[in-house]
Structure 1
Amino acid sequence: MDIRSMARQGYSQRRISRICGISRVTVKKYLTTQGMPRYEAKERRSKLEPYYATIEAWLEQDEYQASRIYQMLKGVGYSGSERLVRKYVSPLKEKQRRLAYLRFETMPGQQAQVDFGDFQVEGADGSVKTVYCFIIVLGYSRHMYIEFMERCTLQAFLRAHQHAFAFFGGMPKEILYDNMKKVVLKRRGSEIIWNAEFAGFAGHYGFKPMLTPPYAPWVKGKVERPIHYLREGFWRGYNFSSLAQLNKDVLLWVQTTAFEREHGTTRCIVGNRFSQEQPQLLSLPEKYYDISLRAWRTVQRDCQVCFSANRYVVPHQYVGKKVLLKILEGVLSIYYDQTLLVSYPLSDGKGNVVAEPRFYQALRHEREQNQRKYRRYQGKAKATRGLSTGSLNIEVMRRPLSAYEEVISCV
């Protein structure tokens, strides 16, 4: 039973208020107004409201974090909470990023975007391992280069760039990355500390590295959507046999299926747009950038140097000297004073000795020559006159052969 029904039955306002648990004033309002009584809440003004324009002006100047804005506001008299600042700043920053993204289309040769994806491979024995996919997409044409690798090392990352530049026949003026450690070590607002090896690589080739804003994945849509396209258009149902075969197959797919398609955003054939973009790419430098892993070693008495728990043999003439090891694409090359001494396939496992037979043959040959040389003078000592007495002293010149025995004992 409602208030008006009770009033029609003769209930007093006092009794109605007691039954309903409300005040008589409220009962009277119900009985004297048409419909339900309206209540207008008083408008409460936020402590932050006087500073809205100030915050927006600061964000126009730079990508300040909410915590920094809070500290700046305290300096101009704000007395509210940091949580209130964060609540107001967050949608403003997201709006700025999305507006920038909506305007973002690049001229031919201007920009490319880079990202990594991971893909699961099932072996014949049922075991599952992960392979990683490097993908770079040219912003204007949407032409792309894809390379799979077993490990996401910095060396593999830079090598994939070199392969991509060769594939495109040039490189864009700038490349957009997310905040991966291979590119940037630390980022705080506008302060960026680049990975030194990556910065040297970019400086050598002459492209400008750029970073996406944190937590704004839509900015790199040109590359993140192709990863989905790769999964559905190439990877699904693919029969993996080896990494080398996979990279051959995916490049064939890139050069045919992906190259000949009409892109969903540009509504143009990728290959047609690339023919316009390719002449605008930067030319590659004449000098190749050395991305090999480098290590110094001293050649031991057994003519060997150690790397990653395996031993590699060098010519015996370099015993005791420091040599430079360069490792690239599964090959270990040994240099002395910029001269290449030998190259070996990088050995798997541990405790292996990798040798060139000709090095030990050269050592045996020298040993035999020395033995014949000193055998000729056996029993024919050289006579010399003593410096003080004038007497004759007998000197027999001998080179210790034990050193050679130690060296070739391992053969």
Structure 2
Amino acid sequence: MHRRFEVIPGAQAQVDWGDEGKILAHMGFGKVYSFHMTLSYSRDPFCCFTTSQDLETFFDCHRRAFAHFGGVPMTVVYDRTKTVVRRHVAPGEAVPLHPEAVGFAGHYDFDIDVLAAYRPTGKGRVERQVLIVRDHVLSGRSFTSVEEMDAAFAAWVPQRRAQTHRTHQQVIGERAAGDHAALKPLPPTPYLVAERHLRPVGKDCLIAFGGNLYSVPARKVRPRQLVEIRATKSQVMLHSTVPDPHGETLLATHARAVGRGARVVEETHWDGLPTGKNRRTTTGEVPVQPRHHQPLGEEARSLQALLNRAAATQVVVGRRPLSVYDELTGTRPFTTHRTPKESS
């Protein structure tokens, strides 16, 4: 059992995904998803179609929905999707939100309302809208692209707004006018949605991300310093975690590499580093010039010969019998043979 509720104009919108399956499989797309946002007061709908549910796509759909409605509601209701909730917790505990969702909501000035687990009736308005769009826009039709599907929804919206809703018994378009007027204005600049990671700087001024290497200015970083990576589908922006004296954090911007194993380097980032031009190297074609030494004395030459392994093999060593050492020490050599006189 649950209590039915209504909201005031501009107070709430509900968001949900729909899985449209392989509707574009003949065009090479594995799956197509529908993103839905419905204004709770008027039931005014928005829908767009995508081939991904990743973080950047999710919030790009939000921007399109806000532009469609001409403003931002005070609250947006979600289920526990991983693009909004960082991890699941026990009932009654505070839900840890995804940092990118918090940043996006702060930029557009709306509150995030996450439903309790297993409470689908909390966003029944948008869940009903998923089925309506599927029945009236997609059913019995074939498409060649997501853009064509978006155009089909846009052509259907005036028909939906002309209908009288069964719950509030008013024309959806008339009630939507009051809903749109109560929405908050859009910010002057859109929010840039990006993946965010911390990575250390290597001694070669390169940072590893996504199987590729990206350079940062050598004069602005130190080895093993942590740098924040903000990556979109087309760009990789590298930011310092501490602002410089001018309050700036951006270190470098690169085009995002395709695939793995690429090195994206801006040569000016290595300015000030040793170039290796003074290193003594040879290709084997240039003969090595002998070093010039001052003449050494006889004793110094003998010592130098002992220190040099090649020369040590040429040193002449005197040889003498062991009996010489016996005579010098006054000892007799040990023998096991005795004469007949000694035995008597």
Deviation of 1:278 after TM superposition, in Å, equals 1.2
Aligned ranges 1:302-313 → 2 under 5 Å: 304-313=206-215
Letter in 1 for 2:130: I
Extract unaligned runs of 5+ from structure 2. 280-344
Report which stretch shifted further, 324-333 or 184-193.
184-193
Equivalent residue number for residue 79 of structure 1? none
* In structure 1, distance between residues paired with 2:277 and 2:165: 70
Tell me how large the CA RMSD over aligned residues is: 3.9
Equivalent residue number for residue 84 of structure 1? none
Using the size of structure 2 for normalisation, the TM-score is 0.61
Counting aligned pairs with the same residue, the percent is 29
Deviation of 1:300 after TM superposition, in Å, equals 4.6
Aligned ranges 1:5-404 → 2 under 5 Å: 94=1, 97=2, 100-101=3-4, 104-121=5-22, 129-184=30-85, 185-186=87-88, 188-197=90-99, 198-199=101-102, 201-202=104-105, 205-212=108-115, 214-236=117-139, 237-241=141-145, 243=146, 245=147, 248-249=150-151, 252-253=154-155, 256-284=158-186, 291-298=193-200, 300=202, 304-314=206-216, 320=222, 322=225, 323-335=227-239, 337=243, 338=248, 340=250, 342-354=252-264, 359-360=266-267, 401-402=275-276
Deviation of 1:305 after TM superposition, in Å, equals 3.0
SS of 1:239's equivalent in the other structure is coil
Letter in 1 for 2:196: R
Distance 1:206 1:319, change over 3 A: closer
Contact residue 231 and residue 237 of structure 2 kept, 8 A: yes
* In structure 1, distance between residues paired with 2:264 and 2:216: 10
Extract unaligned runs of 5+ from structure 1. 1-93, 368-398, 406-411
> Number of residues paired by the alignment?
268
Using the size of structure 1 for normalisation, the TM-score is 0.53
* In structure 2, distance between residues paired with 1:400 and 1:174: 56
Contact residue 300 and residue 319 of structure 1 kept, 8 A: no
